[in-house]
Amino acid sequence: MTERLVVVGGDAAGMSAATNARRGRGPDELAIVAFERGTTPSYSACGIPYWIGGVVADRERLVVRTPAEFAEKHDIEVRVRHEVIDIDCHRGDLTVRDLETGAEREEPFDQLVIATGAVPRRPELRGADAEGILGVQTLDDGEAIRLELERKPTNVVVVGAGYIGLEMAEALTLRGFEVTLLERSPQPMPTLDPDMGALVSDALRKVGVTVECGVEVRGFDVSGRRVSAIETANASYPADLVILGLGVTPNVGLARDAGVAIGPSGGIATDGRMRTDVENVWAAGDCVESHHRVSHRPVSIALGTHANKQGRVAGINIGGGYATFPGVIGTAVTKVCSAEVARTGLSEREAADAGFVTVSAVIDSRTRAGYYPGSTPLKVKAIAERSTGRLLGAQIVGEEGVAKRIDVFATAIWNEMTAEEMLNLDLSYAPPVAPTWDPVLVAAKKVAEKVESDRGPVASAP
Amino acid sequence: MTERLVVVGGDAAGMSAATNARRGRGPDELAIVAFERGTTPSYSACGIPYWIGGVVADRERLVVRTPAEFAEKHDIEVRVRHEVIDIDCHRGDLTVRDLETGAEREEPFDQLVIATGAVPRRPELRGADAEGILGVQTLDDGEAIRLELERKPTNVVVVGAGYIGLEMAEALTLRGFEVTLLERSPQPMPTLDPDMGALVSDALRKVGVTVECGVEVRGFDVSGRRVSAIETANASYPADLVILGLGVTPNVGLARDAGVAIGPSGGIATDGRMRTDVENVWAAGDCVESHHRVSHRPVSIALGTHANKQGRVAGINIGGGYATFPGVIGTAVTKVCSAEVARTGLSEREAADAGFVTVSAVIDSRTRAGYYPGSTPLKVKAIAERSTGRLLGAQIVGEEGVAKRIDVFATAIWNEMTAEEMLNLDLSYAPPVAPTWDPVLVAAKKVAEKVESDRGPVASAP
């Protein structure tokens, strides 16, 4: 008998689940249909700032695959502009609304993947619904922002200096607009430690962005229906276009209403195989919470890489195989014009919150041997547990091309290496690509020395 | 009572040992003297091809520290142009010859570090001593090659297509010479698998190097005292300048004569703390052999990174601390004009030699999201143990900036991760720095799938 897999949400997680399930079970065994309320399945949300900035020429370049391709190559039916509005896990069916006609119908499922993604946080403040205040999440959001820019706004304000906020500030600067960036925390990128965050401020100011940190938005002034200014405790910032970069929240309403358990961080709770607490109901992507391998706490981190991997895991399992998603460690990277910023593991503050006592080291190095031309400077911070020397986190700020070095820390932290173990890693060296001691090893060495000196002298072995 | 540490060989390993020993024990406790037969301590041998190629302006840029700096900053006496010609471990002294005056004298030691480095392999062939045949090891070798180039040789031949051979071929091409590269193996860079080595051939030919592989040098024709041609089994190559890039051998004559044990790979045998089998005699750098963490065999790999780390470990131990050198995994990288090549772990052949049954995957990917401009292509090969999926090796060939991604494999292999474990690593992602699935993860995924399909279906857990 043919089973029926229904996927709710046709982006990275949902479509990875669908294609991987198909790989395990052919169309005779498993029918697969995905409902997507937007106009496009499988697009790159992370690419939207670059499309707005004009770095990526057109919207179609962000579309990974069309419904026709899924049908032809994978025998997967994708129905766009179809919104799932109710799930009945007990009966094994759901209600779908055709957003073109308004018609609603019931659809049965044997297996269900919930991949409803995340929604941008919107402040519950006076005037927040005014025209000219826009989030950045879907391709349609991107289209709306592009239209706004054609009106040539004179005062563009980005609220929130996380990844999307920074990328939007870059995009709008590239397009020639004067940009003000407001952030509640004392620094941009609150997931960095303050010392590294200050370097990001410098990079933003260097390209002409007005950066105002420690600023809490109180409300929006509206003129006609349109935003005219942003009010904070101490000032008013004129604004005829406001971009919200306040992060996202897992989109779990549908799952919650269906009786699926939501975890403490606000995402759908799953086990390692991406099963929810309801039989035959799976979840993956920005709507789920993940296990943080360093803090050992559940976290909701919206990121395409996790969505792809979780979708793959769910799909393999639905397809009859066995796979698990082992969790995350909070790796992230962004580029602000010629600056790159990356982090992994825990920041000092996050480590303290998780109960660790830490030591940290910040080092200055360069990307190549000192004598080899074309090297660029970078700053690397390494954070270790004071009592054991175990690496807990790392941050890198520098110029173009430096950020990928964070992946060595990510791999070392994933494997619970100590700083002393890491400094002996056999990493690649040649004068055009690294100093003899790669910057990441210098940072590990420096923090290992601090751990060692805190510990006091060790008797030498006989 | 003040002890006396004598260091034989004042380059990376020797001077790292000296400075780290000093950090542990002040001048009142430990006198430190280093003998260096060359004119300069602590220079970058790896930088020589770039100096010859004109990328690095002058010799002084390759000198890391001068004897005066060691004296001032570290209270370490460095005597250059002093060659140690005999060591008596029993009596605890050695004989040093002043190369300027020819005078010899005895010098006592309580602790000894042997850091005599490596010597370039020279073929024992007819005419191999002729003028115009030069190795690349010391700054003086570099100077000699630069002088030869001023004579405007018309036929420059590089023998050996390992790292130094490739870097010299690049350097000489950059200087405008027509270069022929001869290699005995069927491909350049014999430590790569043939499929990846072929890509290096392509890159070399693209910049105008004549690459002849599978060619065994039989002898050198000499005209007057000078080389005029290279003879191989099937051909004669006119040559008025020959650069030898045949690799190096650990320089262990002095140690062997002193009764210090030499290991099976030809380097001085040490324990993890860099102690030789003779009490109070330590060794570090290109003259020692290391434990290969994947093949579990001793290997002699001459590389500045290992030399620095081993020297550091010896120095910490001599200084009263405790440190160990945990071995190597054969990571290496080079750049040939706009191409970069990197490898780590074992190649397919090396893995077979070490008794592993392997599966491999080669993937094509790009450095950035497909839609983000400026991405460059790269090819990644991952090799895993067939029965367990454990990663054994990886190779990357691509354009400028791709090679450092090998460090993720190096860290994963170091930690004995399986391909399946690696593909779930939380690596950094943003469109300007990586596709959603980083190329290294795509390669891990592909090889994990091969391991899985070889293994057959696994029953899904209840």
Q: What is the CATH number of the domain that holds A302?
A: 3.50.50.60
Q: Kindly state whether residue B240 falls inside one of the protein's structural domains.
A: yes
Domain limits for position A426: 338-452
Residue B396 scores a pLDDT above 60: yes
> What average pLDDT does the structure give for chain A?
94
Confidence class of residue B341 from pLDDT cuts 50, 70 and 90?
very high
- Spatial contact of A66 and A79, defined as CB atoms under 8 Å apart: no
Same domain, A17 and A132: no
Confidence class of residue B279 from pLDDT cuts 50, 70 and 90?
very high
| Residue A27, pLDDT score | 97
Calculate how close chain A gets to B150, using CA atoms only, in Å. 23
Same domain, B142 and B241: yes
Q: Cβ–Cβ of A61/B428 closer than 8 Å?
A: no
User: Could you give the maximum distance between any two Cα atoms of chain B, in Å?
Assistant: 83
Q: Kindly state whether residue A328 falls inside one of the protein's structural domains.
A: no
Encode pLDDT of B199-223 as tens digits: 999 999 999 999 999 999 999 999 9
Q: Return the structure tokens found at A286.
A: 């920005």
Contacts of B164 (CB under 8 A, 6+ apart): B49, B136, B245, B247
Tell whether B340 lies on the interface with A, counting CB pairs under 8 A.
Answer: yes
Confidence class of residue A340 from pLDDT cuts 50, 70 and 90?
very high
Tell whether A415 lies on the interface with B, counting CB pairs under 8 A.
Answer: yes
Estimate to the nearest angstrom the gap between the alpha carbon of B25 and the chain centroid: 31
Q: Kindly state whether residue A163 falls inside one of the protein's structural domains.
A: yes
Question: Which residue type, as a one-letter code, is found at position B443?
Answer: A
Encode pLDDT of B404-441 as tens digits: 999 999 999 999 999 999 999 999 999 999 999 999 99
Residue B459 scores a pLDDT above 70: no
Q: Return the structure tokens found at A120.
A: 């941008």
Instruction: Say if residue A339 is exposed, middle or buried (CB neighbours under 10 Å; 0-12, 13-18, 19+).
Output: buried
Same domain, A62 and A211: no
Q: Return the structure tokens found at A88.
A: 């009945």
Same domain, B89 and B128: no
Which of B61, B330, B411 is opposite residue A411, by nearest beta carbon?
B411
Q: Kindly state whether residue B191 falls inside one of the protein's structural domains.
A: yes
A-contacting residues in B 251-280 (Cβ below 8 Å):
273
| Residue B456, pLDDT score | 59
Q: Kindly state whether residue A355 falls inside one of the protein's structural domains.
A: yes
Which residue would you say has higher pLDDT here, A58 or B322? B322
Q: Return the structure tokens found at B304.
A: 């500045």
Same domain, B111 and B256: yes
Q: Return the structure tokens found at A31.
A: 């029918």
Q: Which residues of B touch A189 (CB under 8 A)?
A: none
Q: Which residues of B touch A303 (CB under 8 A)?
A: 429
Confidence class of residue B58 from pLDDT cuts 50, 70 and 90?
confident
> What average pLDDT does the structure give for chain B?
94
Tell whether B333 lies on the interface with A, counting CB pairs under 8 A.
Answer: yes
- pLDDT over 70 for what percent of chain A? 98
Same domain, B10 and B106: yes
Confidence class of residue A140 from pLDDT cuts 50, 70 and 90?
confident
Q: Report how far apart, in Å, the C-alpha atoms of B232 and of each of A85, A168, B242 are.
A: 78, 62, 14
Residue A220 scores a pLDDT above 70: yes
Calculate how close chain B gets to A195, using CA atoms only, in Å. 21
Residue B260 DSSP code = P
Calculate how close chain B gets to A351, using CA atoms only, in Å. 18
State the alpha helices, DSSP H only, in B207-327: 253-257, 304-318
A-contacting residues in B 137-166 (Cβ below 8 Å):
163
C-alpha angle B152-B155-B158 in degrees, rounded to nearest 5: 110
Tell whether A189 lies on the interface with B, counting CB pairs under 8 A.
Answer: no
Q: Kindly state whether residue B323 falls inside one of the protein's structural domains.
A: no
Residue A259 scores a pLDDT above 80: yes
Q: Is B46 noted as a catalytic residue in this protein?
A: yes
| Residue A456, pLDDT score | 59
Same domain, B294 and B366: no
| Residue B265, pLDDT score | 97
Which of B371, B420, B428 is opposite residue A406, by nearest beta carbon?
B428
Average pLDDT over residues A17-40: 96
Q: Cβ–Cβ of B404/A404 closer than 8 Å?
A: yes
Question: Which residue type, as a one-letter code, is found at position A430?
Answer: A
- pLDDT over 90 for what percent of chain A? 84
Confidence class of residue B63 from pLDDT cuts 50, 70 and 90?
confident
- Spatial contact of A166 and A188, defined as CB atoms under 8 Å apart: yes
Residue B13 scores a pLDDT above 50: yes
Q: In what order do the strands lie in the sheet with A358-366?
A: A332-336, A339-345, A391-399, A377-385, A358-366
| Residue A221, pLDDT score | 97
Average pLDDT over residues A446-458: 83
Residue A459 scores a pLDDT above 50: no
Lowest mean pLDDT across A129-143, A268-282, B2-16: A129-143
Confidence class of residue B460 from pLDDT cuts 50, 70 and 90?
very low
Average pLDDT over residues A111-131: 94
Residue B23 scores a pLDDT above 90: yes
Q: Kindly state whether residue A329 falls inside one of the protein's structural domains.
A: no
Nearest to B304 by CA among A421, A431, A441, A449: A431
| Residue B457, pLDDT score | 53
Number of domains, chain A: 3
ipTM: 0.95
| Residue A462, pLDDT score | 42
Q: Cβ–Cβ of B426/A458 closer than 8 Å?
A: no
- Which residue, of B218, B246, B274, is where some domain finishes? B246
Q: Cβ–Cβ of A372/B55 closer than 8 Å?
A: yes
Q: Report how far apart, in Å, the C-alpha atoms of A130 and of each of A182, A240, A344 are.
A: 18, 10, 37
Q: Cβ–Cβ of B321/A457 closer than 8 Å?
A: yes
Average pLDDT over residues B159-175: 93
Confidence class of residue A56 from pLDDT cuts 50, 70 and 90?
confident
Confidence class of residue B325 from pLDDT cuts 50, 70 and 90?
very high
- Which residue, of B216, B246, B276, is where some domain finishes? B246
Confidence class of residue B64 from pLDDT cuts 50, 70 and 90?
confident
Alpha-carbon distance B7 to B133, whole Å?
31
- Which residue, of A285, A318, A351, is where some domain finishes? A318
Q: Which residues of B touch A285 (CB under 8 A)?
A: none
Same domain, B311 and B370: no
| Residue A1, pLDDT score | 76
Q: Cβ–Cβ of A333/B412 closer than 8 Å?
A: no
Confidence class of residue B462 from pLDDT cuts 50, 70 and 90?
very low
Q: In what order do the strands lie in the sheet with B281-283?
A: B76-80, B30-36, B3-8, B111-114, B281-283
Which of A61, A304, A410 is opposite residue B371, by nearest beta carbon?
A61
Alpha-carbon distance B245 to B242, whole Å?
10
Which of B61, B167, B424 is opposite residue A309, by nearest beta carbon?
B424
Written as one string, the DSSP assignment of B339-402 is EEEEEEE--HHHHHHTT--EEEEEEEEESS-TTSTT--EEEEEEEEETTT-BEEEEEEEEETT-
Q: Kindly state whether residue B331 falls inside one of the protein's structural domains.
A: no
Same domain, B138 and B180: yes
Same domain, A265 and A225: no
B-contacting residues in A 212-241 (Cβ below 8 Å):
none
Alpha-carbon distance B416 to B223, whole Å?
55
A-B contacts at Cβ under 8 angstroms: 222
Alpha-carbon distance A62 to A52, whole Å?
12
| Residue A289, pLDDT score | 98
pTM, full prediction: 0.95
Tell whether B25 lies on the interface with A, counting CB pairs under 8 A.
Answer: no
Same domain, B110 and B133: no
Q: Which residues of A touch B60 (CB under 8 A)?
A: none
Residue B459 DSSP code = P
Confidence class of residue A62 from pLDDT cuts 50, 70 and 90?
confident
Q: Report how far apart, in Å, the C-alpha atoms of B140 and of each of A371, A400, B85, B136, B411 are.
A: 18, 36, 20, 9, 36
| Residue B154, pLDDT score | 95
Tell whether A391 lies on the interface with B, counting CB pairs under 8 A.
Answer: no
Residue A460 scores a pLDDT above 70: no
Which of B370, B404, B427 is opposite residue A433, by nearest beta carbon?
B404
Tell whether A319 lies on the interface with B, counting CB pairs under 8 A.
Answer: no
Average pLDDT over residues B39-55: 85
Confidence class of residue A461 from pLDDT cuts 50, 70 and 90?
very low
Per mean pLDDT, which of A31-45, A47-61, A167-181, B380-394 is the most reliable? Answer: B380-394
Q: Cβ–Cβ of A47/B460 closer than 8 Å?
A: no
| SS3 per residue for chain A | CCEEEEEECCCHHHHHHHHHHHHHCCCCCEEEEEEECCCCCCECHHHHHHHHCCCCCCHHHHECCCHHHHHHHHCCEEEECEEEEEEECCCCEEEEEECCCCCEEEEECCEEEECCCEEECCCCCECCCCECEECCCCHHHHHHHHHHHHCCCCCEEEECCCHHHHHHHHHHHHCCCCEEEEECCCCCCCCCCHHHHHHHHHHHHHCCCEEEECCCEEEEEEECCEEEEEEECCCEEECCEEEECCCEEECCHHHHHCCCCECCCCCECCCCCCECCCCCEEECCCCECEEECCCCCEECCCCHHHHHHHHHHHHHHHCCCCCCCCCECCCEEEEECCEEEEEEECCHHHHHHCCCCEEEEEEEEECCCCCCCCCCEEEEEEEEECCCCEEEEEEEEEECCCHHHHHHHHHHHHCCCEHHHHHCCCCCCCCCCCCCCCHHHHHHHHHHHHHHHHHCCCCCCC
C-alpha angle A388-A392-A396 in degrees, rounded to nearest 5: 135
Encode pLDDT of A186-208 as tens digits: 999 989 999 999 999 999 999 99
Q: Cβ–Cβ of B333/A47 closer than 8 Å?
A: no
Same domain, B242 and B295: no
Lowest mean pLDDT across A51-60, A358-367, A432-441, B412-421: A51-60
